[in-house]
Amino acid sequence: GPVKDILNRPLTGLGSPTKNNVDYNVRKYIRIAVSAVLLTLIAWRTEWSEVAKQFANLRVEMWFAAVGLYVLAQIASARRWQLFAHELGFEESLPQFCAYSFIGMFFSLVLPTLIGGDVLRMWYLNGESGRKWLAIASVFLERVNGLVILIATACVGVLIAPVELPWWIVGSVWGSAACAAVGLASVPILKRWRRLSLERREQLQAFLGMLRSPRLLAEPTFMSILVHLAGVLILWCLGVGIGLDVPIAYYFVLVPMVSLLMLLPISVNGMGVREAGTVLFLLPLGVDESAALALAFLWFTTGVAVGAMGG
């Protein structure tokens, strides 16, 4: 329909391919360097014998439970993507969307941020159909929906936290929520901004219409809730597995906020950021740094295990 025609228009004015390739390579090396620096600092400060003790005491069944939850979260995420993609004319089955999602996750292990594998997902969905921009739109809409619910999860965590949270945690959560609200509120303003071309304004209007459709948003939002609930349970299982005395309600704050940090385009697959963020958010609860690092490393291993399925 008209929405698909609008969203499938190619973007123009993106600069020369040579310049874009150079910029991408520079950013790639910067991300690798940032990850290396963060991991080096963590390694230098860590008592590895204490981390080894945490791993030695791991209840393996809890790790497998976390991996199982991770798989279920990926399936729910694939279903969320399928719902938006079907609205844009893609008729692939849920198993196909699951396959594309696991493949994207596999490549995310070595690509920038947590969403590096999205390029592969778009590529597989588009195939040779000539609907590249519709494929990009489907992933973008899925990510926006997931991001809004991720921030909402952190807000719920602040409200139900069983311990008094430091001001910087409360401020970072509500600050993120305010930024998200401003971002969503700016879309109607941008669609009237005369400096944007008519095509761009029409595309923003199409995005806004899809994001406001109750019929379209109901099930994807439910899938996002399941995804982020599974994310909380994954870290809770791992924490229980190494004997951490962290209330499950606190993970509603920790998981979304560390996940948001990992979305920053400053590292490869969030490496270094994940570990530093986990330590930072567990310090107010008096969790030992070695235990927090062990939890972060276990979190990473679950992602590797599930991503390997995509390989």
pLDDT tens digits, 15-29 = 454 544 545 445 555
Distance CA 13, CA 299 (A): 40
Residue 37 has pLDDT above 80, yes or no: no
Three-state SS annotation for the chain: CHHHHHHCCCCCCCCCHHHHHHHHHHHHHHHHHHHHHHHHHHHHHCCHHHHHHHHHCCCHHHHHHHHHHHHHHHHHHHHHHHHHHHHCCCCCCHHHHHHHHHHHHHHHCCCECCCCCHHHHHHHHHCCCCCHHHHHHHHHHHHHHHHHHHHHHHHHHHHHCCCCCCHHHHHHHHHHHHHHHHHHHHHHHHCCCCCCCHHHHHHHHHHHHHHCCHHHHHHHHHHHHHHHHHHHHHHHHHHHHCCCCCCHHHHHHHHHHHHHHHHCCCCECCCCHHHHHHHHHHHHHCCCHHHHHHHHHHHHHHHHHHHHHHC
Distance CA 194, CA 146 (A): 30
Residue 102 has pLDDT above 90, yes or no: yes
Dump pLDDT digits (tens) for 127-167. 877 788 888 888 988 998 999 999 999 999 999 988 889 99
Q: What is the pLDDT of residue 12?
A: 47
More confident residue, 259 or 26: 259
Q: What is the pLDDT of residue 148?
A: 93
pLDDT-based confidence at residue 30 (cuts at 50, 70, 90): low
CA distances from 164 to 159, 169, 234 (A): 10, 10, 23
Q: Tell me the pTM.
A: 0.80
Q: What is the pLDDT of residue 109?
A: 78
Q: What is the pLDDT of residue 100?
A: 93
Q: What is the pLDDT of residue 14?
A: 44
Query: Mean of the pLDDT values across residues 253-262?
Result: 92
pLDDT-based confidence at residue 183 (cuts at 50, 70, 90): confident
The percent of residues above 70 in pLDDT, for the chain, comes to: 72
Residue 119 has pLDDT above 50, yes or no: yes
Residue 86 has pLDDT above 60, yes or no: yes
Q: What is the pLDDT of residue 270?
A: 64
Distance CA 131, CA 8 (A): 6
pLDDT-based confidence at residue 179 (cuts at 50, 70, 90): very high
Dump pLDDT digits (tens) for 190-242. 667 766 676 667 666 776 677 667 778 899 999 999 999 999 999 999 999 99
pLDDT-based confidence at residue 13 (cuts at 50, 70, 90): very low
